[in-house]
Amino acid sequence: MNILKTILPGVVIIEPQVFGDERGFFLESYQKERYQEAGIPLEFVQDNHSRSGQNVLRGLHFQISKPQGKLVRVTAGEVYDVAADIDPESATFGEYVGVLLSGTNHKQLYVPPGYAHGFCVISETADFQYKCTDYYDPADEGGIIWNDETINIDWPIKEPSLSDKDKVNQTLKAYAESLK
């Protein structure tokens, strides 16, 4: 397993060891002790799986008072995945990390609690799976608009398909103001 640090504290890209031959492949998608040694110390309590069509963009999401860490991967298809720093006290506030995750590159992204997370689907469909460090609570969900000018994410799609909820997410500046 190869761990790649990013510009955001705690956000890492994980390249698992893949064993493959003409029959297919095998990889270990999670092993508690190895991941803790790699700097992912929290326990995971919930696994989620979503399937989305091409040009779907989900995010940028976060839990407000019960932040979730997420270990994300794609098992089929291809997405551009993003973690954004939304902590006004952080030295990297407003910065983001983006990585291509796919069913063929097997990369994972760990997004620690306190970051906003989102992804867009590049392939015809994508199966997105993630482990969470806290339980999802719809009453505790927050969001930053996908095309926020402060974060300025260079999404590989220009006209995404958004949920009604994601169309009206707040800006990063408005979110930071709400914390004062």
User: Catalytic: which of 35, 96, 110, 130?
Assistant: 130
Q: How many CB atoms lie within 10 A of CB 140?
A: 15
User: Catalytic: which of 61, 80, 96, 117?
Assistant: 61
Please tell me what DSSP assigns to residue 139.
G
Tokens of 112: 């620690």
The torsion of the CA quartet 139, 135, 160, 83, rounded to 10 degrees, works out to 110
Distance, C-alpha 70 to centroid of its chain: 7
Among candidates 121, 130, 77, which has minimal Cα distance to 103? 77
Which residues, 6 or more positions from 18, have their beta carbon under 8 angstroms from its beta carbon?
25, 26, 27, 106
Report the distance separating Cα 157 and Cα 19, nearest Å.
32
Task: Respond yes or no: is residue 130 known to be catalytic.
Answer: yes
Task: Respond yes or no: is residue 49 known to be catalytic.
Answer: no
Residues belonging to the active site? 61, 130
